[in-house]
Amino acid sequence: MSDAHDQPGGADDDFAKPDSATSKDDTQSKSGGDDPGNDNDVMTDDDLPSGGWILNGSGESALRSPAGRSAIGRGLAWFSVDVRWDHGEPDLPLSDGVITLRLPVVEDTTAIIGYATRPGDLDGGWLPLRPPVSDTTVRWVVEDWLAGWAGRRSHNGPALVVSPAATPEMVGTIGFGPGDPGVVEMIYGVAPRWRGRGVARRAARLSADWLVGLPGVDQVELRIGQQHLESQRAAGGAGFVLVDKVREVVEATGQAYTDLRFVYLPRA
């Protein structure tokens, strides 16, 4: 999940302050219509993400039909159904002193619902949600991430929450899924008000440094659309290098996509 606005060399000195120029009104009513904390919500098929949430570096998003790994294409993607993770959880915290990566917690549902209620705060598809968003769906997303960490069937795979080092506030997410044998594909995204300050770059480097030390992980990669220059620069700033192009076809639609494949080079 790439963040088109999060470029290397972001204004890290201003990291602790969201961009007031793009801040949204916290009093906006919640889309979806469910009352917070309603334990009687029932999950329906309509509540579930379908086919993996596809995100591209221009900040646009779209859904593709389920096609397993072939759903990962243009830009970066939330992984499609039946992701299974067998590498366990990281030793936390993962932090560089500016951002911290942590496991999702139930309390994150409040933050996600807040983003869903403010117009524009889901822009770029940085969360695997599409309006209108119900409380039931939000709870399911967090539970699905945690199921991924537990090695159970997960629609989107495991994810870490990105927070400022000084607070637990959710400002981004970074997810993981299996690629070819020995390969982990990584996805990331940042909330609109926190873009432009190097968040994705830092999160990608922290995560990749953790992943390359795991048994059975030989390579960490990102796949980014050819036209998404900002995403490519963010990948480069995180220590990823362009190695080749990958052409994939989504079986359900017949659409073909050619992406750039970036591979992480650990620092010496």
Note the pLDDT tens digit of each residue in 46-63. Answer: 333 333 333 333 333 333
CA distance 175 to 172: 10
In a 13 Å sphere around the CA of 94, the CA atoms on its Cβ side amount to 20
Q: Which CATH superfamily is domain 12-264 in?
A: Gcn5-related N-acetyltransferase (GNAT) (3.40.630.30)
CA distance 50 to 69: 14
pLDDT at 204: 94
Q: Which residue has the higher pLDDT, 205 or 54?
A: 205
Q: Could you report the per-residue pLDDT of 102-121, keeping only the tens digit for each? A: 999 999 999 999 999 999 99
Mutual orientation of helices 108-117 and 135-149 as an angle, nearest 10°?
140
Which position has the token pair 């750039």? Answer: 260
pLDDT at 230: 78
Cα separation values, 133 from 4, 104, 267, Å: 23, 19, 41
Please, are residues 223 and 76 in contact by the beta-carbon 8 Å criterion?
Answer: yes
Residue 5 has pLDDT above 50, yes or no: no
3 state DSSP class of 33: coil
CA distance 31 to 29: 6
Cα separation values, 206 from 92, 189, 210, 212, 214, Å: 11, 14, 6, 10, 13
CA distance 204 to 187: 8
Q: Could you report the per-residue pLDDT of 150-173, keeping only the tens digit for each? A: 988 888 899 999 999 999 999 999
Residue 190 has pLDDT above 80, yes or no: yes
Residue 126 has pLDDT above 70, yes or no: yes
